Amino acid sequence: MLSFEHEFKKSLHKSKKDTHMFEELIESAAQKEKFRVAANKLLNQCFLLRKREDTKKEYVFVRQNRELFLPFFDLLGYDLKINEDQGVIGIVNQFGTGRLSLGKYESIFLLILRILYVEKRKELGTFTEEVTVLMEEIREKYAMLKIRAKPMLDKGNERHMVSLFRRYNLIRNLDSDVCQPDARIIIYPSILMAVTVEDINEYYTMTEQKLREYSGGNADGDSEEDYDQSAVD
């Protein structure tokens, strides 16, 4: 059986330069460890951020060695996305599998985060990579949907969702008690890659339509079948 390293070398577009780079990498224990850590962070967390201290080194390493990571993730069935303007690196499954299955309210929460990110950046009039919102602002957006089955998210839902999306480097809470109205939540630009759209206008059209579909709710509560396959891989 052919070794993984042999297959990986073949996938490097048969470039002598790239193959030489890979051979140097696997011969250096330090570089090999950097590669392993960066690849595993992407596989486990989906996104690397230039501005986050715990992913900054891996972001730089992947960006500088994209020739090695592109064929590596392609071999695993992922596309490597690098957006240097936003300071985000992410992976997307080529076959639409391996996606995180989100419940109805988790999907709504994610869409609200995306809306608030865009709106805050417009308000600020800058190209800042991250924005800060308050939990109260998220609640206000949710309340506007007038979902009969769940007009308000309970605190358990809110804690769960903040924890879930923090795990995938989409947000970070600045306050320990995220259920306080003035609890601050940083939304990272990775939200743009997680919920992809061609342009902002198209996004709002899609979001409003999706939220209207949810807004009717279910008199008996959330259905087990009512979930969305999120773009978080």
d(CA 45, CA 49): 11
Q: Give the domain extent around 27.
A: 4-93
Residues 84 and 107 placed together within one structural domain of the fold: no
CATH of the domain at 126: 1.10.10
Q: Are residues 135 and 221 in the same domain?
A: yes
Q: What is the pLDDT of residues 79-121, one digit of tens each?
A: 999 999 999 999 988 886 656 677 888 888 988 999 899 899 9
AA letter at 151: P
**56: pLDDT strictly greater than 70:** yes
C-alpha separations of 164 from 109, 169, 171, 212 in Å: 11, 9, 9, 24
The answer on 108 and 81 residing in a single domain is: no
119 and 51 within one domain: no
- pLDDT at residue number 25: 66
C-alpha dihedral over 142, 147, 148, 150, to 10 degrees? -50
pLDDT, one tens digit per residue, over 132-162 is 999 999 999 998 888 888 889 999 999 999 9
pTM confidence score: 0.77
Domain count, the chain: 2
Q: Specify whether 173 is located in the same domain as 222.
A: yes
- Do 56 and 165 share a domain, yes or no? no
